[in-house]
């Protein structure tokens, strides 16, 4: 018998528990990525002559594998006295990696703001902070929400990498079940199905969101 | 980012590797890491080939295939885009043998990465084909071409130009994903790094070199794709002017 339903039911609660860790890592990682990405994009505009440095930084982060970045933070940072536990190190790496991608998304959003909006803000003597908070960000962010959503899904699909530094998320739990029972079929297939279900649901959500935002924009 | 900046970054990265190689603490690890890098490049090239083949096949099947083929392609794309690359890798590595199909780690790695990126690639190909103007199809019909002729002679050459930049991004993704194969015991660059790290605990030199080496490979790939794009679109511009 290739597929054992009793075994499946037995491991389901264990995997469900691990799924919580995966989702936690995703959410914390994404909050980090979205915030840091916004900071990078704003700094690029607000402080002159930082554009080039940030471009190079983003290119560096995007050109190297996330797995190596996770290892770097987990293994190298302690040499400089910053000891992080596996979960924190992993989430930090994921957050920074996706911040690089998110900052480009925000940049596209800011680029779409008409020049006149900036000029009007200067004419009204608004401070840089008020301009960003009340004029630019409310116009720039809604159109890019679907793009950010796609990165949320992509980030979620990267969380199995945390198993490489033994964070007890879905993949690691499935692997441990596999090595204890010598049955890999059920745990790994279940993990795959879980990711598939989450991706399909979130893709549908993003499409709905996109439609809602488009309606609001055309009104 | 301009091609000049990319070339400058590449030069700096190579220079840094060169300078570090003169230090004994770093040069010690270089031969082993280079060995790993060769395997990384092999997997990346074979995986990219498979990805392109799967991407084109799946896109053509979804656009012009008969219904069963269309569904098959859709299921393929949804499954490989919907689950994580690492899950696919582990599934092929651990689960496939239970169905009697035992593959070596190397073909598993090429298969998993190629199929994964191919699924994303099929959307790129599909989008590029759909972006070719309707009039081109109508012109072909007026010239009494068969569907295969239309695709081969008129549509795909134009779609090709639109495909280059997104494929470039996908190749970079694939190159970075090759680091995952270290988790199924293939001794690629990432695997060598971890192995050396566990043996020597010289964490900083090892991972610094590894990051630089991946950076060099990505930059070479990016620059190559930029040049290809420039050449391909130069031809197109001439065609338009004529």
Would you call B84 and A195 a contact, using CB atoms and an 8 Å cutoff?
Answer: yes
Question: pLDDT tens digits for B21-44?
Answer: 999 999 999 999 999 999 999 999
Cα gap A85→B31, rounded to integer Å: 32
Question: How much is the CA Rg of chain A, to the nearest whole Å?
Answer: 21
pLDDT of A187 reads 94
Instruction: CATH number of the domain at A15, please.
Output: 1.10.3720.10
Cα gap B183→A70, rounded to integer Å: 14
Cα gap B121→B62, rounded to integer Å: 13
Residues in B touching A164 (Cβ below 8 Å): 183
Domains: count for chain A: 1
Would you call B81 and A2 a contact, using CB atoms and an 8 Å cutoff?
Answer: no
> What ipTM score was computed for the predicted complex, to two decimals?
0.89
Question: pLDDT tens digits for B179-207?
Answer: 999 999 999 999 999 999 999 989 999 99
Chain B's closest residue to A51, CA to CA, is: B1
Cα gap B54→B44, rounded to integer Å: 15
Interface test with B, best of A75, A96, A150 (most B CBs within 10 A): A75
Q: Are A27 and A210 in contact (CB under 8 A)?
A: no
Cα gap B61→B75, rounded to integer Å: 12
Q: Does B180 contact A at CB distance below 8 Å?
A: yes
Reported as type and span, the H/E element at residue B5 is helix B3-21
Would you call B91 and A75 a contact, using CB atoms and an 8 Å cutoff?
Answer: no
Question: Among all chains, which residue has been given the structure tokens 């790939």?
Answer: B221
Helix (H, G, I), strand (E, B) or coil at B105: helix
Question: pLDDT tens digits for A53-93?
Answer: 999 999 999 999 999 999 999 999 999 999 999 999 999 99
CA separation, residue A14 to residues A19, A57, A110, A172 (Å)? 9, 40, 44, 11
Would you call A160 and B193 a contact, using CB atoms and an 8 Å cutoff?
Answer: no
Domains and CATH numbers, chain B: 3-235 (1.10.3720.10)
Which residues constitute the domain of residue A106?
5-218
pLDDT of A219 strictly over 60:
no
Token code pair at residue B13: 């990265």
């Amino acid at each position: 018998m290739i597929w054992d339903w009793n075994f499946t039911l037995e491991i389901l609660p264990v995997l469900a528990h691990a799924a919580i860790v995966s989702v936690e890592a995703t959410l914390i990682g994404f909050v980090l990525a979205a915030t840091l990405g916004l900071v990078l994009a704003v700094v690029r505009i607000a402080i002159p002559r930082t554009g080039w440095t940030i471009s190079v930084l983003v290119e560096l982060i995007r050109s190297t594998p996330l797995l190596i970045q996770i290892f770097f933070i987990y293994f190298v940072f302690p040499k400089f006295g910053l000891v992080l536990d596996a979960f924190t190190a992993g989430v930090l790496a994921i957050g920074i990696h996706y911040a690089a991608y998110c900052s480009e998304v925000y940049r596209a959003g800011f680029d779409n703001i008409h020049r006149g909006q900036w000029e009007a803000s200067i004419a009204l003597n608004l401070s840089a902070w008020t301009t960003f908070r009340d004029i630019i960000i409310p116009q720039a962010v809604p159109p890019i929400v679907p793009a950010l959503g796609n990165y949320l899904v992509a980030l979620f699909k990267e969380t199995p990498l945390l198993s490489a530094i033994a964070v007890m998320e879905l993949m690691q739990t499935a692997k441990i079940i596999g090595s204890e029972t010598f049955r890999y079929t059920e745990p790994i297939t279940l993990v795959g199905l879980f990711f598939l279900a989450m991706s399909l649901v979130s893709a549908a959500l993003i499409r709905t969101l996109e439609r809602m935002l488009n309606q609001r924009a055309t009104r | 980012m301009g091609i000049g900046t990319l070339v400058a970054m590449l030069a700096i990265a190579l220079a840094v590797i060169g300078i570090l190689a003169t230090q004994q603490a770093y040069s010690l690890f270089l031969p082993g890491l280079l060995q790993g890098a060769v395997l990384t490049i092999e997997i990346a090239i074979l995986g990219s080939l498979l990805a392109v083949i799967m991407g084109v096949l799946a896109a053509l099947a979804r656009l012009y295939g008969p219904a069963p083929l269309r569904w098959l392609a859709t299921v393929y794309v949804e499954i490989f885009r919907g689950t994580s690359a690492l899950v696919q890798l582990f599934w092929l590595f651990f689960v496939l043998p239970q169905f009697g199909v035992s593959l070596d780690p190397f073909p598993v790695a090429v298969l998993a990465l190629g199929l994964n990126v191919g699924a994303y690639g099929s959307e790129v190909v599909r989008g590029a084909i759909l972006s070719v103007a309707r009039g081109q199809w109508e012109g072909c019909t007026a010239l009494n071409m068969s569907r295969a002729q239309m695709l081969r002679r008129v549509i795909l050459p134009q779609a090709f130009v639109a495909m280059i930049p997104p494929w470039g991004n996908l190749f970079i993704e694939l190159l970075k994903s090759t680091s995952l194969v270290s988790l199924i015991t293939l001794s690629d660059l990432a695997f060598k790094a971890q192995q050396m790290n566990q043996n020597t605990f010289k964490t900083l030199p090892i991972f610094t070199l590894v990051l630089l080496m991946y950076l060099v490979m990505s930059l070479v790939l990016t620059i190559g794709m930029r040049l290809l794009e420039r050449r391909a679109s130069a031809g197109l511009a001439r065609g338009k002017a004529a």
